[in-house]
Amino acid sequence: MIIKSIELREIRLPLIHFFETSFGRTTERRIILARVFDNDGAEGWGECTAGEGPFYSDEWTDSCWSTLHEFLAPMVVGQNVENAAQVFSLMRPVRGHRMSKAAIDNACWDLEAKRMSVPLWKHLGGSRREVASGVSIGIQETPEMLLEKIRKEIDAGYQRIKIKIKPGWDLRIIERVRAEFPKIRLMGDANSAYTLRDIPLFKQLDDFDLMMLEQPLSHDDIFDHAKLQREIRTPICLDESIRSAEDALHAIELGSCRIINVKLGRVGGHSEAKRVEQVTRENEIPVWCGGMLESGIGRAHNIAMSTLAGFTLPGDVSASLRYWSQDIIEPPVIVSDRGTIIAPEKPGIGFDINLSRIESLTVRKELVHSK
Ligand code: OSB
Ligand code: MG
């Protein structure tokens, strides 16, 4: 297929409730969307999952906009590619910038699946139609508000609860949550808020039967995590530290984690995510799909990826209505009372794009085309 042009847009999308992690609070998303056109009039959509500041990773909305506009989109437009998997290699001269790359890579996968008239999840090699859904609950103003939110999500059917933790909102909170909900599948995500000096705290957390503890130590570390994993029973799950299949293999060989969270943006899109899924599956390390407060487009891509065989644990992909009063896809993502999402049967990402809604949310737009 010949990539004719790439349209980049930034949209602003206010969250229904703020989302707070150990690195900060988000109230409104600034999301870049990539729309890739081929020479035959077909199109595909991708979403850049970078945050509003360089606090989860070093990428953020404005750095992604420049990288996409000045370097990545020009590398891809005008190219005749054999398949979507080749697009990631075309962008190889640019080091890092994986969330920016993922916006284009994923749009090309959607485009290719649409050209073939197959749902993206089947095109990726997915093997299950129904994916297990969990929720990620941010740091709240009070412990009571957290307990109330957990109650609501459990009642809605979600299969596991993840709570964000940070120093001062950790042991006491997990104790209270466990006292209130002794049986639920529960985990904590620290987003790199701790160091090896906190080993005594993690040993105490071992008493609460957490499914896993996500990214307790530095965002780019796999060495100290291996030391920590040897000291505690709770499985460590790496998020931030895993940016490629090689990272995953190194972490597995070092013993830095027993579970991995795969995020499409963090690894550079579907092409690389498939490689991560393969090495983890070969090494019997379970994976699950992480979330980045995506709009419906990123969410639809997450659902497709979650159908791959290695995704055996509930992910952070939940209903559109938990984030937005109105999504930019139709229908919105819904979750069954069994806590599952059904992968759609329509071609590509399988949801319709609400272009007029996107248009009304757009604050800038650029078209990169071949010369
Ligand atoms: O660490 O998983 C994370 C959101 C933004 C940045 C990082 C993370 C998260 C989440 C939210 O946990 C997952 C979601 O509901 O999209
Ligand atoms: Mg995380």
CB 43 within 8 A of CB 37: yes
Q: Residue 137: CB within 6 Å of ligand 1?
A: no
Which amino acid appears at position 279 of this protein? V
Whether residue 215 is predicted with pLDDT greater than 90 in this model: the reply is: yes
The DSSP 8-state label assigned to residue 99 in this structure reads H
Ligand 1 atom at minimum distance from 291 CA: 16
Nearest CA to ligand 1 atom 7: 292
Whether residue 8 is predicted with pLDDT greater than 90 in this model: the reply is: yes
Q: Residue 139: CB within 6 Å of ligand 1?
A: no
Rg, C-alpha atoms of the chain: 20
Q: From the CA of 138, how far away is ligand 1's center (Å)? A: 9
Top-level CATH class of 3-117+355-369?
A: alpha beta
Q: From the CA of 189, how far away is ligand 1's center (Å)? A: 9
As a whole-number percent, the residues of the chain with pLDDT over 70 amount to 100
For a mutational test of ligand 1's pocket, the pick from 20, 55, 136, i.e. the residue with the most ligand atoms closer than 8 A to its C-beta, is 136
Strand-pairing partners, residue 7, are: 35, 367
Domain ranges of the chain: 3-117+355-369, 122-342
**Predicted confidence band of residue 40 (pLDDT cuts 50, 70, 90):** very high
> Rounded to whole angstroms, how far apart are CA atoms 211 and 187?
5
Closest CA to 120 of 347, 306, 367: 347
End-to-end Cα separation, the chain, in angstroms: 17
Q: What is the mean pLDDT of residues 97-122?
A: 98
223-231 and 245-254 helices, crossing angle to 10°: 40
Closest CA to 81 of 169, 1, 155: 1
- Other Cβ atoms within 10 Å of 187 Cβ, number: 23
Q: Residue 161: CB within 6 Å of ligand 1?
A: no
Q: Residue 191: CB within 6 Å of ligand 1?
A: yes
Give the residue numbers marked as catalytic: 164, 263
**Predicted confidence band of residue 91 (pLDDT cuts 50, 70, 90):** very high
Q: Exposure of 181 by Cβ count < 10 A (0-12 exposed, 13-18 middle, 19+ buried)? A: middle
Q: Residue 293: CB within 6 Å of ligand 1?
A: yes
**Predicted confidence band of residue 370 (pLDDT cuts 50, 70, 90):** confident
Q: Which CATH number fits domain 122-342: 1.10.10.10, 3.20.20.120, 3.60.21.10, 3.30.420.40?
A: 3.20.20.120
Q: What is the mean pLDDT of residues 302-327?
A: 98
- Does the pTM of the predicted model rise above 0.75? yes
Which amino acid appears at position 57 of this protein? S
* pLDDT of 108: 98
**Predicted confidence band of residue 371 (pLDDT cuts 50, 70, 90):** confident
Q: Residue 189: CB within 6 Å of ligand 1?
A: yes
* pLDDT of 194: 98
For a mutational test of ligand 1's pocket, the pick from 27, 316, 320, i.e. the residue with the most ligand atoms closer than 8 A to its C-beta, is 316
> Rounded to whole angstroms, how far apart are CA atoms 310 and 125?
11
Q: Residue 302: CB within 6 Å of ligand 1?
A: no
Q: What share of the chain is helix, strand, coil (3-state, %, to 5)?
A: 35, 25, 40
Nearest CA to ligand 1 atom 4: 292
Whether residue 145 is predicted with pLDDT greater than 80 in this model: the reply is: yes
Tell me the pLDDT tens digit for each residue of 224-266. Answer: 999 999 999 999 999 999 999 999 999 999 999 999 999 999 9
For a mutational test of ligand 1's pocket, the pick from 21, 238, 313, 317, i.e. the residue with the most ligand atoms closer than 8 A to its C-beta, is 21
